[in-house]
């Protein structure tokens, strides 16, 4: 008999298993095992006829939720029930946040254990933390469970009530959400500001001065004691100087006249000001600040950041990564200060331990900031991590250690220099003591390099000095529109407004992009035409639901439910069924919403209508011959749609394509067109005998107006045959595809090997030698799981190839060539050696290289070790045993969390409709 411990994920289970006695059995629930129905087929027959069944919440019976066990979780539930039969005690060890508490409660409801139950919580997965947690178990916190359940019901009510309205009035498959719609509105509002922005221009002078052979810059700030206008003096809505500002706006002519007037005139230092500045380190990371900084420094999206952080947590490298607390435990403070003392010296240690408190209301997700796990912090180099895992851990380590370091002391120097009646200013910065900047500079990867960049050294100057003017020039400037949101700045905005919870930001941003409300281009979130239409409808008819203040107050109420300060049922009744409740509003507003108006997007300076159709956005305009409709390319955003592009698209529709010229060899016309996927060139006309003329997309970033006949002719030669591969004799080509330019090694039936062409290489000029060099490089698999090994064991004694332990879907495994061998369930990773790996691999190879007996029977004529045969035989691939790591990636195994996300209803009925709703 044993103690059964249940956690959420297999990785977490494997790590915890190493820290518990052999009498403990650790199993994974694979996340939630019960939820509201996501499709019609999941609704029990007993209630299918009820009008509330599709909603999944019985609003007439005190908002009773309808919980079901999804099909892909039934096997897991059965396994957990079987494991419980042999247990004398049950420990629920899910995360200590609302979701984790809810998972434990649902497990309790499903398993109905007859043995003693404990709730174990911890914030890091280390031997010390797990052993300590075992001695401090508690009961499930029902108030937290109730708060999570209320939040889940609330999200379902919003999503499943508003989404069908959007389907009717705008387009099928759209979704609304309590936090999602607010975030989309923020993006749209910023884009509206950018469209309404009016550019202003101004000129000033920039000089290079020299004193004691040290050069420094000076910028014009006054003329005749009147401030010279800069970008901050302009009104964004008019492009003119803001009313009431007393500034001098210089145009180019005036700037050049001033330049001529001060040429060869003496410069004199009029004033010097030195101001000491002390900077304190930032607190350690919370969920949102980690997402922001990882986006700025590592260019990671919020979802990717949380995926990597989750992996680091579950493997015992960092503490729990869903937290809005900046608090550090005494253990963590001691560990951080020890790192500072050892690595930087006592002078870099803050005089007293720094203790941070969370300013935001309701910091309840966990009780400590994100930090390296343990009572002593492993340096990044000591972890054995590499790649992006290493870089994110390095970020967390530096931020935590820096939080206990001394202040940075700087001196800011301002020098005012006069020449004639023109005043110039020079700014300098001297770092007197770097303090915490020696370890961590926010927004910079390399603290040492950042220190050098931050310092701006001016020569020793005093009032009355006359520096030499080495150069002075007139410089023109144009004001810039408000910056679009990045993932980092959107997360920061949502948190500052109190909208949503940091733990949900990653999934919210992911949903916005996945649902087509925004495109992520060059790290900026750019809203689409659909986002404009949906936001306008919600602003007009349901303004509270997209108001940040209203949503923030909802968030506060949910926090109050968690602490017992508010009652959940009266709140839900008022929100949904009250006189001004959501259900009432939707019934009243539905008849007032004109679908044609709702599908129309009004953009400033665009005379044609922009409409949302079944297949995307399109233009609608009237001319002498009647109504004209033209599709808008999918990659064209509202920000890029200007009158010129509108005219081109409509003209292309009515008058046909624009002729660029004639092909020098065939004499056929060459056209430049814009299609659904952007601009392209076409050779010849579409006719009965030439239904599919030769076409080629323009390289990314190429403007259609810059295309020449020569460029078009070159593009129309694609794919280019570069030559033959020296090893196979097969052809090597260069071409343009959906993901950009590439080279391909085409071996016919054997298969094709692709590599992307990156700048400075060019698809039109790349050579065979360069293509072969690219093809020889390891292939990056799109969307594949990280291949970072959990442990490196050493070289194989025969092949010399490295043998590593990897993290697979069904647990750790070792790999050599084409053979994968899973580690035993109770095998400790710490004690796993190269010899054990060789024994496992030999046993697997002797058993048939990993194929099951069924697979071997069905593929008797297939050589198990032949890579070529595996490529040729589709049947062999489809019958590979379920234990194979490759097959595990390609099947929808019941244990797979990914499969749970991808399951869709097979019938185009209400089930399909239900699955498209997002809460």
pLDDT digits (tens, 9 = 90+) for 67-81: 999 998 999 999 999
Read off the pLDDT band of 605 (50, 70, 90): confident
pLDDT band of residue 846 (cuts 50, 70, 90) is low
Higher pLDDT, 890 or 238: 238
- How far, in Å, are 113, 482, 912 from residue 92 at the CA level? 11, 49, 35
Residue 328 has φ and ψ, to the nearest 5°, of -115, 135
pTM of the predicted protein model: 0.74
pLDDT of residue 448: 57
The encoded tokens of residue 484 equal 């679009």
Catalytic (active-site) positions: 320
H helix runs in 632-673, sequence order: 643-655
Q: 741-774, pLDDT tens digit by residue?
A: 899 999 888 888 888 888 888 888 999 999 999 9
Give the C-alpha separation, 602 to 83, whole Å: 60
Mean pLDDT over 768-795 rounds to: 70
pLDDT at position 137 = 95
Helix axis angle for 582-590 and 142-169, nearest 10°, is 0
DSSP-assigned letter for residue 47: G
Region 209-213: what's the mean pLDDT? 93
What distance, in Å, lies between the first and last C-alpha atoms of the chain? 43
Residue 734, φ and ψ in degrees, nearest 5: -120, 140
Tokens at residue 210, please? 């020299």
- Of 204-213, 272-281, 386-395, 895-904, the range with the lowest mean pLDDT is 895-904
3-class SS letters over 857-900? HHCCCCCCCCHHHHHHCHHHHHCCCCCCHHHHHHCCCCCCHHHH
Region 667-687 average pLDDT: 81
Pairing of strands 2-7, 87-92: parallel
- What's the whole-number average pLDDT of the chain? 84
């Amino acid at each position: 008999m044993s103690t059964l411990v249940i956690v959420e994920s297999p990785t977490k289970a494997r790590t915890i298993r190493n820290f518990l006695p052999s009498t403990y059995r650790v199993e994974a629930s694979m996340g939630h095992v019960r939820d509201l129905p996501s499709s019609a087929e999941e609704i029990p027959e007993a209630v299918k006829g009820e009008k509330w069944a599709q909603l999944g919440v019985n609003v007439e019976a005190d908002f009773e939720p309808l919980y079901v066990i999804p099909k892909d979780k039934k096997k897991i539930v059965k396994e957990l029930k079987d494991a419980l039969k042999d247990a004398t005690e049950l420990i629920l060890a899910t995360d200590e946040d609302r979701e984790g508490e809810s998972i434990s409660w649902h497990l309790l409801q499903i398993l109905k254990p007859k043995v003693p139950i404990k709730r174990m919580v911890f914030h890091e997965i280390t031997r010390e933390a797990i052993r300590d947690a075992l001695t401090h178990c508690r009961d499930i916190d029902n108030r937290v469970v109730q708060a999570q359940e209320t939040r889940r019901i609330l999200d379902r009510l919003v999503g499943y009530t508003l989404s069908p309205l959007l389907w009717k009035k705008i387009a099928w498959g759209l979704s609304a959400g309590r936090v999602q719609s607010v975030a989309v509105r923020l993006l749209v509002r910023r884009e509206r500001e950018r469209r309404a922005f009016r550019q202003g221009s101004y000129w000033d002078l920039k000089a290079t001065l020299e004193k004691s052979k040290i050069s420094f810059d000076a910028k014009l700030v006054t003329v005749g004691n009147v401030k010279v206008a800069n970008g901050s003096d302009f009104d964004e809505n008019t492009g003119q100087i803001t009313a009431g500002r007393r500034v001098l706006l210089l145009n180019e002519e005036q700037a050049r006249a001033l330049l001529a007037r001060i040429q060869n005139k003496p410069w004199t230092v009029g004033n010097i000001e030195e101001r000491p500045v002390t900077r304190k380190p930032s607190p350690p990371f919370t969920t949102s600040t980690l997402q922001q900084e990882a986006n700025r420094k590592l260019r990671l999206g919020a979802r990717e950041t949380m995926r990597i952080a989750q992996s680091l947590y579950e493997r015992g490298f960092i503490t729990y990564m869903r937290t809005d607390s900046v608090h550090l435990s005494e253990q963590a403070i001691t560990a951080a200060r020890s790192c500072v003392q050892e690595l930087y010296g006592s002078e870099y240690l803050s005089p007293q331990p720094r203790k941070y408190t969370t300013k935001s209301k309701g910091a309840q997700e966990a009780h400590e900031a994100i930090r390296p796990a343990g009572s002593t912090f492993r340096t990044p180099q000591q972890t054995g991590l590499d790649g992006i895992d290493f870089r994110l851990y390095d970020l967390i380590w530096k931020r935590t250690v820096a939080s206990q370091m001394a202040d940075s002391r700087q001196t800011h120097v301002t020098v005012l220099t006069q020449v004639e009646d023109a005043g110039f200013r020079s700014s300098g910065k001297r770092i007197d003591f770097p303090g915490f900047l020696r370890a961590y500079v926010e927004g910079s990867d390399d603290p040492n390099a950042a220190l050098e960049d931050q310092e701006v050294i001016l020569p020793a100057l005093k009032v009355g000095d006359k520096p030499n003017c080495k150069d002075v020039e007139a410089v023109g400037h144009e004001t810039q529109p408000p910056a679009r949101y990045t993932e980092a700045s959107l997360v920061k905005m949502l948190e500052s407004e109190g909208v949503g919870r940091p733990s949900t930001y990653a999934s919210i941003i992911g949903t916005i992009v996945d649902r087509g409300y925004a495109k992520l281009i060059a790290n900026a979130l750019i809203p689409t035409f659909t986002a404009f239409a949906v936001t306008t409808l919600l602003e007009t008819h349901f303004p509270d639901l997209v108001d940040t203040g209203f949503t923030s107050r909802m968030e506060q109420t949910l926090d109050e439910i968690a602490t017992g300060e508010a009652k959940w049922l009266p709140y839900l009744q008022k929100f949904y069924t009250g006189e001004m409740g959501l259900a009432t509003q939707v019934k009243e507003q539905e008849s007032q919403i004109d679908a044609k108006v709702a599908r129309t997007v009004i953009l400033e300076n665009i005379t044609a209508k922009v409409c949302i159709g079944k297949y995307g956005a399109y233009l609608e305009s009237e001319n002498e011959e009647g109504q004209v409709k033209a599709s808008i390319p999918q990659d064209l955003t509202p920000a890029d749609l200007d009158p010129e592009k509108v005219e081109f698209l409509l003209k292309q529709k009515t008058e046909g394509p624009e002729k660029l010229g004639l092909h020098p060899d065939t004499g056929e016309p060459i056209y430049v067109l814009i299609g659904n996927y952007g601009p392209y060139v076409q050779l010849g006309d579409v006719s009965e005998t030439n239904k599919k003329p030769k076409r080629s997309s323009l390289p990314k970033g190429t403007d259609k107006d810059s295309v020449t006949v020569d460029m078009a002719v070159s593009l129309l030669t694609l794919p280019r045959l570069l030559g033959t591969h020296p090893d196979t004799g097969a052809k090597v080509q260069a071409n343009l595809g959906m993901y950009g330019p590439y080279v391909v090694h085409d071996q016919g039936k054997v298969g094709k090997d692709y590599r992307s062409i990156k700048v400075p290489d060019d698809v039109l000029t790349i050579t065979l030698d360069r293509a072969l060099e690219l093809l020889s490089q390891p292939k990056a698999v799109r969307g594949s799981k990280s291949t970072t090994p959990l442990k490196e064991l050493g070289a194989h004694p025969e092949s010399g190839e490295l043998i590593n332990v990897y993290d697979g879907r069904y647990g750790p495994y070792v790999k050599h060539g084409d053979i994968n061998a899973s580690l035993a369930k109770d095998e400790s990773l710490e004690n796993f050696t190269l010899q054990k790996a060789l024994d496992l691999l030999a046993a697997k190879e002797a058993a048939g290289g990993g194929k099951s007996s069924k697979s071997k029977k069905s593929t008797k004529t297939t050589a198990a070790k032949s890579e070529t045969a595996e490529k040729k035989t589709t049947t062999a691939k489809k019958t590979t045993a379920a234990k194979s790591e490759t097959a595990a990636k390609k099947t929808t195994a019941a244990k797979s969390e990914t499969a749970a996300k991808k399951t869709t209803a097979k019938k185009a009925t209400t089930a399909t409709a239900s699955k498209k709703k997002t809460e």
